Structure 1
């Protein structure tokens, strides 16, 4: 497929064409030429309103149903939605049935997704069955294509297991993901512990449950060395703890979920289970601290934390509903109302280096792997905008600005 992208504004701080409107010729998957007013003879023309192009976006925390929960989402459709939402690469959580905790499971995912425009990078489970008892087969999974090891939304209560994991992965430069929440302190909590939980009569989760576990995990990292990624932090103290750890020289990175950057626990007044997420939505003061952490570089990555769930587990009484929200389709529109464009692109691309994924630039001779988007235009997110099989979005009815058009990746052009 030979293409010419006409009048595209490049957003790439490392490119000499940063913020310039140019034409880009792609031939056989490689960028052949970049310049103004290039001839389109012999090329299929891609020309879109206010077209902007950046390096391909990466989502560091994505759950898809397959294998085992195809009623929630399939790998094929999930990756198609990711592409149409602007993501060229996604890290897949080990949330299927069976849990991806051995070489064959990783190989299955790689095989099933090999021909998609969006490249899937499996995360192997940290413990067998994600049950928190025995370390999983890290090295075999690494050889099969796993980019990191973690148990999705499950905190490891056994500190010695995390210590062993951090030591073991150093033999092959592996990455450990440590979801941080002390389950004993959380107890039966379902929302942030504070004024709103008291008013609604819902059991609260103290911010301490996250912060205490992060402090413990950082002490373990300081002792063992290695690389640690702390996903979806949600409190001001968590930001501060990680900032101090980085200042000590620890090899720690972290992410924040988009819904924690936009929404607060004030939306819980109608007990709508679409807003039941983990970690929970926090007060405005915590949300502002997270935004500040993004802007000052403490928070390395922003993730959609895309988690499709069917009505049988989501449309229930608030206490009983499963945690999670889909986030692909709304991701860029949300952030474009909150952050400068260059920051969004940085936080959507920086995770590749953390997870050991190749990141192509936008220069002549480079393999073409980029995201197409329009930062202009206000719109309201509606059910018709959801392309996922599951519809459990916490963002319905929200006002957004700008949309992703799609991607060019793996020699394929996918547009919404």
Structure 2
């Protein structure tokens, strides 16, 4: 693939050309030249787009595709094409398939299905067999087959001793353990954040305590065992404080936040719209403020879409019966671009998650593979059904104003616009 990118503003905080507006020549998928003005002497395909900005290719650390088992929600093929058009050159895919991805064969099936796309797929293996929080899965075998981390998606490890053993065992092969932050004995059958809104609406509440107890427990275990822990999709003010203190102690812990938890509060529930039913639940404006500060201060390392397609039969039902989850690949950038400072946002989508999940990290400079996301940070629009590329349409941002348009990606020697 040979390309000439014209007049692009480079957002690459760790690279040599940060905030410079330059031309970029790409030959056979490699960045050959970066300069003020490059003449197209070889008649390469030229990319010249309005207010074009580029960065390292974005990596989403928490994505669900249905395949195998729930292809009606999202196939791997459509999911990867959606990710590419949404600016992601790599995604980590959760193991909540049917059957659960808890063994070597399941990981290899998912990897093989993802060959040949612009967006690279990295499987996350289930930490426990069948995600039942009873016995550890075949972690070492799965890692050898391509799994980059281990966790039970949106299911807490209720047995503290099991997580202790997992953290100890995983150190033998330097594996990353994920632990979903919720204590189900406190959360029970809750549907929404326990607060004035859930009380007014008559919805069973999930208190912030359910998250914070689990985070505190997991950090105690990590302090005891050592190892590497990642806490996905935190949502409360106190969780930020707990992780901040753990990092000060020198514990090897990181955490992520889902895009919707940085923008939307539990006020969204007033319409009983099941698109707003997510896990963890939408919290309060005070929590949003604390999460944004946690990002700015570097306590929160990673931003994810937490993309979770749900078919219409399990979403367009009564609030009590609807499944938790929202799609988010297509809307992440536009939802956060004016809420989170651009450099912080790019870091939390590139360097930070790639380093934590041990994925190849490339800067925008001559001689590097072209792994690039193309976007316009100043494009305002209303997010409508026709902006959704996923098979499922359960977007929490539907009909909301977004700011920032993704043009596509250059990755794996392919251009997707």
Question: Which bracket does the TM-score occupy, shorter chain normalised?
Answer: over 0.9
Corresponding position of 1:5: 5
The Cα offsets for residues 273-317 of structure 1, whole Å up to 9 and x where unpaired, read as: 000000000111111111111111100000000000001111111
Q: Aligned residue for 1:354?
A: 356
Give CA deviations for 1:327-381 in whole Å, capped at 9, x if unaligned: 0111100111201111110111110100000111111001110111111121110
Give the CA deviation at 1:113: 0.3
2:34 pairs with 1:34 = yes
- 1:61 Cα deviation after fit: 0.2
In structure 1, the partner of 2:19 is: 19
Q: CA deviation at 1:151?
A: 0.2
Instruction: Give the match for residue 332 of structure 1.
Output: 333
Q: Which residue of 1 aligns with 2:157?
A: 156
Q: What aligned pairs does 1:251-266 form with structure 2 within 5 A after superposition?
A: 251-266=252-267
Q: After the TM superposition, which residues 13-412 of structure 1 pair with which residues of structure 2 at under 5 Å, given as runs?
A: 13-42=13-42, 43-349=44-350, 350-412=352-414
* 1:319 CA displacement: 1.1
Q: Secondary structure at the match of 2:40?
A: coil
Give the CA deviation at 1:39: 1.0
Residue aligned with 1:139, SS: helix
Shift of 1:270: 1.2
2: CA distance, partners of 1:354 / 1:14? 16
TM-score by length of 2: 0.99
Deviations 1:22-57 (A, max 9, x none): 111111111100001101122111111111110110
**Structure 1 outlier segments of 4+, above 6 Å:** none
Q: Deviations over 1:92-146 (max 9, x none)?
A: 0001111110011111111110111000000000001111111000000000000
SS of the aligned residue for 1:263 comes to coil
3-state DSSP of counterpart to 1:123: strand
Give the RMSD, CA atoms, in angstroms. Answer: 0.6
Q: TM-score, normalised by structure 1?
A: 0.99
Question: d(CA) in 2 for partners of 1:245 and 1:265?
Answer: 28
| CA distance, structure 2, for counterparts of residue 37 and residue 182 of structure 1 | 57
Contiguous gaps of at least 5 residues in structure 2: none
Rounded to whole Å, the distance in 1 between the matches of 2:224 and 2:302 is: 25
Point out where structure 1 has 5 or more consecutive residues left out of the alignment: none
The SS at the match of 2:346 is helix
CA distance in 2, matches of 1:402, 1:141: 38
Count the aligned residue pairs. 415
Whole-angstrom CA distance in 2 between matches of 1:364 and 1:259: 36
2:311 and 2:186 map into 1 onto residues whose CA distance is 29
SS at match of 2:180: coil
Between the aligned partners of 2:375 and 2:412, the Cα distance in structure 1 is 18
